[in-house]
Chain A
Amino acid sequence: MDLEAVGKMAELQDDLTPLQIGTTGKYKGKAFEIIGRMKVSYNDGFWNEWYLYFSEGKHREGWLAEAQGFYAVCFDVDERVAPPRSEASSLKPGRCIEFQDRGLFEIEDIHEVKCQVSEGELPVNAPKGRESLSIDLTGPDVQMATIEYAKDEIRVYAGGYQDFDDFKFHNLREIEGW
């Protein structure tokens, strides 16, 4: 009996997301498939980070952040735009950070997050239990970004929000009654 799988099943029992591994869609016209996921939680909630594989384009790997019906796709960017780790604890919502040619981004919220459960393929090793300080930012024209201060790395992602219908999703999870 695979205890880990049983544990995962329990963790995902209350899962209510229309996405799943194998869901395909398009972001700004580029086709992708979902190949992995991390469900992260913080003090006042949780969200899903879906790992994407694009079959075309410059960026082959991306993330789809899904929270409360908002969907944003983002890609790895140079982590040097992020303030140094020593400043991380002093960052506050409302502060603006220059994202090179993407413009000025404003900090929306800051959460201490923990990876609750993961599945599929991920670029991170042993993701479960991984802790980080996650900073969400919004930029001009529905752009978004995330700065993640993890134990031994700083990761920065930038991208944009897109409406559910514009993703033209296929192979969505069936949600009973809907």
Chain B
Amino acid sequence: MAETPKESQKKKYSARKFDCTRCGAPIEIKYPGASLAISCPNCKVVIDISDQNYRILSKYFDKTKEYDPIIPLGTRGKLFEKTWEVIGFMVRRDKLSGYSWEEYLLFNPYYGYRWLTRNNGHWSFVTMLKEKPYSSQAALSRVFVNRVDFRDNNYKLFYSGHAVVAYVFGEFYWKVKTDSEVWMTDYVSPPYMLSNEWDNRELIWSRSEYVAKDVVKDAFKIESMAGPQGVAPNQPSPYLKTWQTMRLLWVFFIVVLIGINVVTASRALNYSAFRQMYNFTMNGKTNDTTTPVFELLKDKANVDIILKADVDNSWFYISGELVNEDNGDTYYFERTCEYYHGVDGGESWSEGSSTQNILLSGVPGGKYYINFDTESGDFRSIGDRNFTLQVQRDVPNAANFMWSFFWLCILPVISWLNMRHFEVSRWSESDYSPYASSSS
């Protein structure tokens, strides 16, 4: 049995005018049906407009501190698909540090109120919540915790302190008072931040979403706007996406690389094609020794020439060529084996090695022999010594793997460093930084 709407209900909505209780200047309340307090544009006192006598809410006002809103009151703009009008402006500061930020009260008669906050030039769009974030650390929401969950996101404690109203201008839906303070706690999960404000009577949760400066600038048609400084608590990291993608690709390629390595290693013949011991005379030379012909299997594979010389505080030098008997293709190599050791000032030392590896890559299969010359030196002794020349065919090559691994890591490491640097900057403003040791 519903009533039909009456014609009289299509009333016109109009602003209300009155004279400032303190200075007499004319004041116009734009939304008297919604606002409860307004500041006098002339003397800046805040007046209770639900009171018939227009009682003054904040008697004291420090005239030396004036702030100019970047978005003029009365400006309308479209943000998050709705039109909002800026009706109030407030500056709040942290009681302890004195650090201050700006808050713009947005109004739409259908959708209510939102806030735009400006913090070091960073903007956020704030919506009050009726849904409480959840914390596994405490059943009750009035307990101080490090982490809270809200709609699938986990938020980390970033700030807690007393926020004091330093300056108000415009109209507000509650009886705002300068110098009033709340206990405020912020939790971040970029691009969001959850804030909890408590004044012993009321506990309010709100959620901020980071808004790029140009979005605000375009929405409210602001001529010029200074850019943000530093990293905001809820600023999305430009490096995080890159790092996450990079990390996936990295893991993928490492798996591929390991796979390739395992397969090639398992397929490697790794056999000794030739091995022989030769004599050499210390401090002497040999020329043009030729080895017997040996066979290298496989179409193409590496060859590891292993030289093992009997050196002891002496050196042995070899220069040689691996020659393909069929077509004369030649691979030159030379190497010195030297090994020195002793005791110096009570400490024993050693350097060099009596074994050397010379790796030749991509040697075609076929019949081969080696020609070599040697030279050696020892200050203390002369006499005959031995050296062994071994040709190992198709050895598993860790160097390829290591180099590939190294190159594969460069971009991910840079990406991770960028990401981390950004996070460290973000948390440098917080008392609860997980990077506390790296912040000054």
Contact = CB atoms under 8 A, between A and B. Distances in A.
Q: Do A and B come from one complex?
A: yes
Interface of A: 9, 12-18, 20-23, 33-35, 41, 44-46, 53, 68-70, 72, 93-94, 96, 106, 108-109, 120-121, 138, 141-142, 144, 161, 164, 171-178
A45 B141 contact: no
Contacts of B142: 94
A18 B110 CA distance: 6
A22 to B, nearest CB: 3
A31 to B, nearest CB: 12
6 contacts: A12-B11, A22-B3, A68-B112, A69-B108, A164-B110, A176-B12
A138 to B, nearest CB: 6
Interface in B1-43: 1-6, 8-14, 16, 31-34, 36
A16 B32 CA distance: 8
B174 A45 contact: yes
Contacts of B34: 16, 68
A109 to B, nearest CB: 6
A23 B3 CA distance: 10
Given A44-B36, A173-B9, A174-B10, A18 B201 contact: no
B175 interface: yes
A69 B33 contact: no
Contacts of A172: 110
B101 interface: no
Interface string B51-67: 00000000000000000
Given A21-B9, A121-B1, 6 more contacts: A22-B3, A41-B50, A68-B112, A164-B110, A171-B5, A178-B108
B140 interface: yes
B3 A21 contact: yes
Given A96-B140, A164-B111, A14 B33 contact: yes
A137 to B, nearest CB: 11
The size class of the interface chain B forms with chain A is 35 or more
Nearest to A178: B109
B131 interface: yes
Interface string B195-232: 00000011100000000000000000000000000000
A108 B1 contact: no
B267 interface: no
B113 interface: yes
Contacts of B132: 106, 138
A141 B10 CA distance: 36
Contacts of A70: 112, 128, 130
A41 B51 CA distance: 12
Nearest to B29: A14
Contacts of B239: none
B173 interface: yes
Contacts of B112: 68-70
A106 B134 CA distance: 13
B146 to A, nearest CB: 20
Nearest to A96: B140
Contacts of A68: 34, 112-113, 173
Contacts of A45: 36, 50, 173-174
Contact of B5 (A15, A20, A94, A144): A20
A175 B13 contact: yes
The CB with the most chain A CB atoms within 10 A, among B8, B14, B110, B203, is that of B110
Contact of B202 (A108, A144, A174): A108
The CB with the most chain B CB atoms within 10 A, among A9, A69, A96, is that of A69
A21 B5 contact: yes
B131 A141 contact: yes
A172 B111 CA distance: 13
Q: Nearest 5 pairs between A and B by C-beta? A: A69-B112, A16-B33, A22-B5, A14-B33, A14-B32
A45 B32 CA distance: 12
A97 B202 CA distance: 17
A21 B113 CA distance: 23
Contacts of B12: 176
B203 A108 contact: yes
Given A45-B173, A176-B12, A22 B109 contact: no
Contacts of B113: 68-69
A16 B109 contact: yes
Contacts of B140: 94, 96, 106
Given A16-B13, A16-B31, A93-B201, A175 B3 contact: no
A100 B4 CA distance: 38
A15 B16 CA distance: 12
B1 A161 contact: no
Contact of B111 (A33, A69, A109, A121): A69
A161 B130 contact: yes
B33 A17 contact: yes
A158 B36 CA distance: 28
Nearest to B8: A9
Nearest to A69: B112
A72 B131 CA distance: 12
Nearest to A21: B3
A178 B2 contact: no
Contacts of B1: 35, 53, 121
A57 to B, nearest CB: 16
Nearest to A41: B50
Contacts of A35: 1-3
A164 B5 CA distance: 21
B116 to A, nearest CB: 16
A23 B4 CA distance: 9
A140 to B, nearest CB: 8
The CB with the most chain A CB atoms within 10 A, among B4, B13, B131, B140, is that of B13
